[in-house]
Amino acid sequence: MTRIAQTLWIGGLCLAAVLAILLAWTASQTPHAAHYLWMQWRPATLDWFVQREIPIAARMPVDQADYWLIEIDRIVGKNPTDAQLAIGAAMIVEEPETDFWQPYSAQFYAPVRDANQPFESACADRDWRLIEQAIALEPGNPQWRRVQALMLIRHGSYWFADSPPLARIDDWRPILAECAQHDPGNALYHYIAAMLYWDQSFENWAISGDRKIIDPKSYDLGMESLEKALTLPLQTGESASGEAKLAFLEQTTLSPSDRWRMLASDRMRHRLRFVFRSLFDRHDLPKYPLLGLVAPPGASLTPAEQQMQLRMNAQTSLENLRRDMQLRAQWEGTSAELDIMLAPTSEVETSIFRMLYMSTSNPNLFTPDEQAELLTLYEAEVRRTAIQRQLQANPLSAAPGYQIPNMYHRLTGDALAMLIPPLLLIALGGFVASRFRPKTPPSVGPIAATLCLILAAAVIFTIFGLGTAHVIDRVILSRTLTALLFVLPMLAIVAAAVQYVRKYGAPLTRVQFLLVLFGGGLALRFIVPATIDFDEWVNWASYWGSPSRHAIFDDWLRRLDGYHHEHEACAQWLSYGGPALTIFLWAILLGIVAWGKTWFQPPRDLPETLGALCQSWLRRGLELALVAAICYLLAARWTLDIAHADEQYRRNAAVQPAAPLQERMETMLGDAMYKRAIEQDMTAKLELLKWRMQMSSPQSP
C-alpha cells in the first residue's frame, strides 16, 4: 500500500469515527433512535436468517383479534377506572386493520368479508361495551358522548347490497337523546339522527343511485333533524378520540413503527367523512330537480303551467344549493370537510353552471338577485375545485417523513445500510481466499472498480427499479434479457477459445472455430428460452434479494402512494434488495475485468490469477465499505431527525386530525406556482361561463 493510500485510509477512519460519535450523540437525544436505526439494518442482516414478524396491521383479522383482546384485557384490566384508555381500546377493536386486503384486491368483497367474520365474532360488540364502560366512569364528559354517537353508525361493511342497517343498535333514539342531554347545542347528534332516519326511509339509501322512499314519515323526520342541525354549532369529538387512541397504543407492546401505523388509521375521521359526504350528497331525493327539465316537463301542461313548474323546480334547486353551502360552511375546518378536497370533484360546480346557463335562455327562472347569488357561489366553487385539482395532482402528505426530499434522505440511508454488509462479506471472502494463494497485488484498480460499480448499479436499477415500476416497457426488457442471455455466453465461449489458443499456442483452424461457435449456439438454444418473461424472471431473481421485500415495499408504498413511477422505482429497487444485488454483480464484474486483464499481461498460472482477484475483492471491497460507512453516518443523522419530526407530527395529527390537511392547503396556497395554476383554472372557467351565457342569451344574434 502506498503512502497516499495509507493517508487516505487513516483520514477516512478518523472521519468515520468522528461521524459515529456525532451519530451516537444525536441518537441519545432522539426517542426510539435504536428502533429506527435497527429498522434500517435489519433487512441486510437479521432478515436473512430470521423471518420478520408480520406487522399487526397486515395480519389476518383473526390474528389481529387474538392480539388486541389480550392487550385490552391487560391494559384496561390494569386501569379499570381510566375512561380514556377504554375509549382508545374501543377505537382499536372496532374493526380490523386493512393491510391484509392486498392479496384479495381482485375479488375484494367476498374474501374480505369472509376474513372479517372471525374478527367480528371474537370482538362482537366489545367496542360498544368499552364505550359504555367509559361513559359509566365519566357520564358528564361530552367528548365520550360524541364518540358514542358516532359509533352508533355501522361503518366499514355497510357499502354492500346485503349489508345490515346503518344503525348498529335498533333503539338508537334514546341513546342520541341522552347524548344531546349531556352535550346540549351540538349539531352532531341531529346530523346522525338525520342519517339514521333516512336509512329507514330509503331503499338501499347508501349505495343505490335510484333511491326510492319507502317510509315518508322517517324521511320527513330526517329533514327536520337536518334543518335543526344547520342552526347549531358543530363539535365532532375527533380530537378526544385521537388522544384516547394514542394513550392506549403507548401502553401496548407494539414497536414504534407499528404504533404510528395504527395511529395513522383514523377510523373516526373516516366515519366523520362518511357522515359529511352522506349529508352533502343525499340529503334530498331530487337534489337539483331543475337540471332534469331542459325540455318541457309534459305536453299536457299549458305554457304557463310549464313555466310555473320550471320556476318551482328552480327554487327547489336553489334552496338545496343554499343548504349545501350552509352545510359545508358548518363543517369547514374539520378533517371530514378537508378530506373531501382529496376526493373526486363534486357535482356542485357543474350544477351551478347549468343553472346559470339555463337562466340566460329563460330569464324568468331566477330573479336578478338570485342570478347574482348564483354567480357568487359559482366563483367560490370554481376556486374550490381548482384547489381540489391541485391537491389531487400533487398528493404529497404534509408529514415530514413523507415529503419528497426527506424520503430520499431516508431511502439513501436504507440503501447504504444494505450496501455495507455484502461489501464486508466480499472483502472477508477475498481475505480468506487470499491466504491460500500467492500474495500478488490486486489486478483491478480503483477507477476500474468504480466503473464496474456504476455499471452494476445501472443494470440492477433498470431491472428491479425502472422495470418493476413500469417506467420501461416490460416487453422491451424481456427481449433485452433474452438477447443478453444468448449473446453474453457466446462471447464467453469465444473468449475461452482465444484464451486456450494463447495459453497452449495451438491455433484453431477456421473449421474448428466455427464448430466451437456452432456447438455453443446449439447448446444455448436448448438452455435459453426463446423469450424470457420479465415478471417471471424478476420473481425468480427476487429470491436473491431482500427476504423482507414485501415489508420494505409496503412501508415505502404508503409514502409513495399517488407519486410518479420514477419515485416508485426507488422503492421497488430497495424492496428487491437492489443494493445487495448491485454489490454481488459488482463482484462478478470485478472478476471479469481481472480475467480480461490477463489478455494484455504476460501469462500467469491460475493460482496467481486468483490471488490477484482475491486481493482486488479485499482492497476494493474495504475501500467501498469505508466510503459507504461515511455516507451512511452522514445520512443516519438526517434519518433520526426526520423520524423524530415525523413522530411528533403524527402525535399532533392524532390530537388535531384536521391540521395535516389544513397545513397542506396553506402550504400549497402560499406557493406562487400553485397560485398561478389555480388562477388560470379559475379564469378559464369563468370565461367559458361568460361565453356560454352570451351565446344562449335571447338578445344574442
Q: What's the confidence (pLDDT) of residue 289?
A: 58
Residue 246 burial (CB < 10 Å; 0-12/13-18/19+)?
buried
Kindly state the helix (H) or strand (E) to which residue 203 belongs, with its residue range: strand 202-203
Greatest mean pLDDT range, 222-236, 461-475, 483-497: 222-236
List, in order, residues 6 or more apart from 67 with CB less than 8 Å away: 56, 59
* Separation of alpha carbons 626 and 624, rounded Å: 5
pLDDT tens-digit series, residues 383-393: 877 777 776 66
pLDDT at residue 481 above 80? no
Q: What's the confidence (pLDDT) of residue 529?
A: 54
* Separation of alpha carbons 626 and 427, rounded Å: 12
Tell me how crowded residue 212 is: count the other CB atoms within 10 A of its CB: 11
When comparing pLDDT for 235 and 688, which is higher? 235
The per-residue pLDDT of the chain, averaged, comes to: 75
For residues 85-117, b (16+ Cβ closer than 10 Å) or e, as one string?
bbbbbbbbbbbbbebbeeeeeeeeeeebeebbe
When comparing pLDDT for 396 and 423, which is higher? 423
* Separation of alpha carbons 633 and 639, rounded Å: 10
Q: Is residue 518 part of a domain?
A: no
Domain carrying residue 205: 31-285
Q: What's the confidence (pLDDT) of residue 157?
A: 46
Query: Cα angle vertex 335, ends 133, 657, to 5°?
Result: 60
* Separation of alpha carbons 650 and 644, rounded Å: 10
| Stretch among 180-194, 419-433, 485-499 having the lowest mean pLDDT | 485-499
DSSP 8-class letter at 167? B
* Separation of alpha carbons 39 and 46, rounded Å: 10
Going from the C-alpha of 374 to that of each of 268, 321, 356, 558, 691, the distances in angstroms are: 34, 9, 7, 41, 16
Helix (H, G, I), strand (E, B) or coil at 202: strand
* Separation of alpha carbons 584 and 48, rounded Å: 15
**Which residue from 663, 649, 571 is spatially nearest to 399, judged by alpha carbons?**
649
CA 13 centroid distance within chain = 39
Going from the C-alpha of 635 to that of each of 14, 258, 406, the distances in angstroms are: 17, 23, 11
SS (HEC) of 209-251: CCCEECCHHHHHHHHHHHHHHCCCCCCCCHHHHHHHHHHHHCC
DSSP 8-class letter at 82? -
* Distance between first and last Cα of the chain: 92
Q: Is residue 515 part of a domain?
A: no
Residue 294 burial (CB < 10 Å; 0-12/13-18/19+)?
exposed
C-alpha radius of gyration, the chain, whole number: 34
Average pLDDT over residues 611-636: 83
Average pLDDT over residues 7-24: 88
**Alpha-carbon torsion angle 612, 616, 622, 623, nearest 10:** 130
Residue whose entry in the numeric block shows the C-alpha cell 360488540: 125
Q: Is residue 262 part of a domain?
A: yes
Q: What's the confidence (pLDDT) of residue 547?
A: 44
Q: What's the confidence (pLDDT) of residue 105?
A: 45
Tell me how crowded residue 66 is: count the other CB atoms within 10 A of its CB: 15
When comparing pLDDT for 106 and 402, which is higher? 402
Q: Is residue 281 part of a domain?
A: yes
How is residue 614 written as a grid cell?
482475491
DSSP 8-class letter at 294? S
Q: What are phi and psi of 573, to 5 degrees?
A: -60, -40
Q: Is residue 473 part of a domain?
A: no
Average pLDDT over residues 551-564: 52
Kindly state the helix (H) or strand (E) to which residue 656 belongs, with its residue range: none
* Separation of alpha carbons 170 and 148, rounded Å: 15
Work out how many domains the chain is built from and give that number.
Answer: 1
When comparing pLDDT for 237 and 690, which is higher? 237
* Separation of alpha carbons 489 and 323, rounded Å: 74
Confidence of residue 398 (pLDDT cuts 50, 70, 90): low
Confidence of residue 545 (pLDDT cuts 50, 70, 90): very low
How is residue 406 written as a grid cell?
426527506
User: Which amino acid is present at 647?
Assistant: E
* Separation of alpha carbons 175 and 172, rounded Å: 5
Q: Is residue 106 part of a domain?
A: yes
Average pLDDT over residues 464-487: 71
pLDDT at residue 576 above 90? no
Q: What's the confidence (pLDDT) of residue 146?
A: 92
Q: What's the confidence (pLDDT) of residue 355?
A: 81
DSSP 8-class letter at 464? I
User: Which amino acid is present at 358?
Assistant: M
pLDDT at residue 133 above 90? yes
Q: Tell me the percentage of the chain whose pLDDT exceeds 70.
A: 68
Q: Tell me the percentage of the chain whose pLDDT exceeds 90.
A: 11
Residue whose entry in the numeric block shows the C-alpha cell 396556497: 669
**Alpha-carbon torsion angle 610, 611, 616, 622, nearest 10:** 130
| Stretch among 205-209, 270-274, 276-280, 520-524 having the lowest mean pLDDT | 205-209
List, in order, residues 6 or more apart from 54 with CB less than 8 Å away: 551
Average pLDDT over residues 521-534: 56
How is residue 392 written as a grid cell?
389531487
Query: Under a CB-based contact definition with an 8 Å cutoff, are residues 278 and 305 in contact?
Result: no
Q: What's the confidence (pLDDT) of residue 483?
A: 66
Q: Is residue 86 part of a domain?
A: yes
DSSP 8-class letter at 292? G
Q: Is residue 324 part of a domain?
A: no
> How many secondary structure helices (H) and strands (E) does the chain include?
28, 2
Greatest mean pLDDT range, 396-410, 455-469, 499-513, 565-579: 455-469
**Alpha-carbon torsion angle 671, 673, 674, 678, nearest 10:** 130
Q: What's the confidence (pLDDT) of residue 541?
A: 53
**Which residue from 585, 477, 470 is spatially nearest to 537, judged by alpha carbons?**
477
**Which residue from 284, 348, 354 is spatially nearest to 316, judged by alpha carbons?**
284
**Which residue from 381, 279, 371 is spatially nearest to 320, judged by alpha carbons?**
279
Q: What are phi and psi of 202, to 5 degrees?
A: -100, 155
For residues 574-612, b (16+ Cβ closer than 10 Å) or e, as one string?
bbbbbbbbbbbbbbebbbebbeebbeeeeebeeebbbbb
Confidence of residue 684 (pLDDT cuts 50, 70, 90): confident
Kindly state the helix (H) or strand (E) to which residue 572 belongs, with its residue range: helix 565-575
Q: What's the confidence (pLDDT) of residue 208?
A: 47
Average pLDDT over residues 545-567: 52
